[in-house]
Amino acid sequence: MINFKTDPQYYRHWKLRLDGPVAMLALDVAEDGGIAPGYELKLNSYDLGVDIELNDAVQRLRFEHPEVASVIVTSGKERVFCAGANIRALGLASHSFKVNFCKFTNETRNAIEDATRNSSQTYIAAVNGSCAGGGYELALATDYILMADDGATSVSLPELPLLAVLPGTGGLTRLMDKRRVRRDRADFFCTTEEGMRGKRAVEWRLVDELAPRTKLIEAANRKAAELAELAPRPHGIRGIAMTPIKCELKENEVRYEHVTVEIDRARSVANITLRGPAAVAPASPEEIHRLGAKFWPLAIARDLEDAILHLRFNEETIGTWVFRTRGDRRLVEAHDRTLADFSDDWLVREITLFLKRTFARLDVTSRSLFALIEPGSCFVGLLLELALAADRIYMLNGLREGDETPPAAITLTGANFRRFPMLNGLARLETRFIDDPNHLEELRGRIDDDLQAEEAEELGLVTFAPDEIDWDDEVRIAIEERAAFSPDALTGMEASLRFAGPETMETKIFARLSAWQNWIFQRPNATGENGALKLYGSGRRAEFDARRV
């Protein structure tokens, strides 16, 4: 069972040092600290456990240390920055674990860029020693790469020549679209095992600046201070404590404070219920700060994020996630409104961005997502995003016999209009009604209206709106049918249908690059008996089937 909840006091691989507006994250991997048995984390290589700590640190810095304007990522070891993902760990892992691992590391690197872009918490890399593969991809996720100018230090993406796979954590895409490395140079670089160093690495845009080894951290601190000057923090800004979330784990149930996951193994379904807030919404930013991690939008985001990661990694055969909500629509609406009313507040901004990243995890989750909207639900504003992220939405039309709960209704708020953009840069509604600005205008006119099933269906907001007579059968058949389809084909289809419209670096990484990598991970040339990934370290040379596909 993989656990994603951690805290700096438990870190085994990262050292977090704070110095006013500058933080330093030093990678110092414990060789014997692998999350699974069977390999040693040599040369500052990482496995999922190392990345879980990084994810925690990146998140925590935003909430607990808003005074930090710049984060230096460096190595705590002498001669190596980071050798990338541990190959032996990858070799031992199942295909689905490999893919899930890449997805999670990609999400963490995106979170680094999100902090830089949207919270002015700018990451810079101080590369001291060999920086290879995933190590360089980590550096690429920062906005400024400083590199020691010595014989031991280089950057490289040796995956292709060494392992017959791709750099799978966004390296190729970031070389092209972020650092604008010329394609022919990128071609040469990615086929050169030993990588590049010194002036040529700068000239080719692979790094931004060189410094003598002994002056590297000094130079990094100078750059960090410069960035901090450019992004001044409000005086006396103080973070909130990200106290541990509560989670009770049973065989077929995971119970968080605001989210419950019930596993129906016979149907390969996870029934995920999110509960609306129990209290009135705070009336001021001060009150939100006082509530801190207890503030409902933040608390439910944390629960949901953990549930997503848990299900992805620990429940691989549960192919369909069915989302429901329970609660008072007006309380959800009021909480949703605080995010809009106090959007200038740093904490509110961070919560909004966290929700954005959490919903974005759903969009790239390789599970079928259904939303069921029933009487007593509270799909309003930010919770409606859950439904809009789903592959299908069923909404019960009318009452349930013998139940006095009024008919279900959904409510659009400003939150549904790009407060939580997808990775393609558009709101889920914009993606849903791509190139249809008139309809979006019509929907905008319906903000705050309670929309019952027929109206919601007419407006295109739900897929089907069966009445009580048809509901049970229709929903049951849809869910059972899903379990009968090929999981792989569903993954490919869903990845294709969820992202209409424009593409960004992120969508390219998750769809284009990941799909190629998934393919390559399956090919005998990489993972067959004589494949390069299988033979790595054995001293034997891989044998390739020369046919180009």
**Residue ranges in 322-381 that form contacts with a second copy under rule CB under 8 A:** 366-367
Stretch that binds a second copy, among 2-10, 269-277, 347-355, 475-483 (CB under 8 A): 475-483
536 binds a second copy (CB under 8 A): no
Using the minimum distance from each CB to a second copy, give the nearer residue, 229 or 545.
545
CB of 257 to a second copy, least distance (A): 27
Spatial separation of the C-alpha atoms in residues 336 and 288, rounded to whole Å: 13
213 binds a second copy (CB under 8 A): no
- Which member of 33, 76, 161, 407 binds a second copy (CB under 8 A)? 161
User: C-alpha angle 199/204/208, rounded to 5°?
Assistant: 65
CB of 152 to a second copy, least distance (A): 25
CB of 166 to a second copy, least distance (A): 5
Instruction: Choose among 81, 100, 116: nearest CA to 35.
Output: 100
1 binds a second copy (CB under 8 A): no
309 binds a second copy (CB under 8 A): no
Considering only residues 97 through 116, tell me which ones interact with a second copy, judged by CB under 8 A: 99-100
- Which member of 28, 262, 474, 503 binds a second copy (CB under 8 A)? 503
CB of 53 to a second copy, least distance (A): 25
Cβ-contact 311, 319 below 8 angstroms: no
Burial class (CB in 10 A: 0-12, 13-18, 19+), 212: exposed
Among the residues of 364-421, which ranges form H helices?
A: 384-388
Cβ-contact 348, 295 below 8 angstroms: no
Instruction: Choose among 495, 490, 488: nearest CA to 511.
Output: 495
- Please state, as a whole number, how many other Cβ atoms lie within 10 Å of the Cβ of residue 385: 23
- Which member of 61, 85, 456, 526 binds a second copy (CB under 8 A)? 526
- Which member of 203, 244, 522, 540 binds a second copy (CB under 8 A)? 522
441 binds a second copy (CB under 8 A): no
With CB under 8 A, what is the number of residues at the site for a second copy? 89
Using the minimum distance from each CB to a second copy, give the nearer residue, 237 or 434.
434
- Which member of 160, 254, 360, 383 binds a second copy (CB under 8 A)? 160
Residue 25 bridge partners (DSSP): 16, 73
Considering only residues 376 through 415, tell me which ones interact with a second copy, judged by CB under 8 A: 390-393
Residue 156 bridge partners (DSSP): 132
Coil, strand, or helix at residue 411?
strand
525 binds a second copy (CB under 8 A): yes
18 binds a second copy (CB under 8 A): no
490 binds a second copy (CB under 8 A): yes
Coil, strand, or helix at residue 268?
coil
Considering only residues 246 through 305, tell me which ones interact with a second copy, judged by CB under 8 A: 268
- CA max distance for the chain: 78
CB of 516 to a second copy, least distance (A): 4
548 binds a second copy (CB under 8 A): yes
Question: What is the DSSP track for 297-343?
Answer: HHHHHHHHHHHHHHHHHH-TT--EEEEEEES-HHHHHHHHHHHHHTT
Using the minimum distance from each CB to a second copy, give the nearer residue, 153 or 518.
518
Q: Which two tokens stand for residue 287?
A: 């009150």
Spatial separation of the C-alpha atoms in residues 435 and 215, rounded to whole Å: 52
496 binds a second copy (CB under 8 A): yes
466 binds a second copy (CB under 8 A): no
Spatial separation of the C-alpha atoms in residues 293 and 291, rounded to whole Å: 6
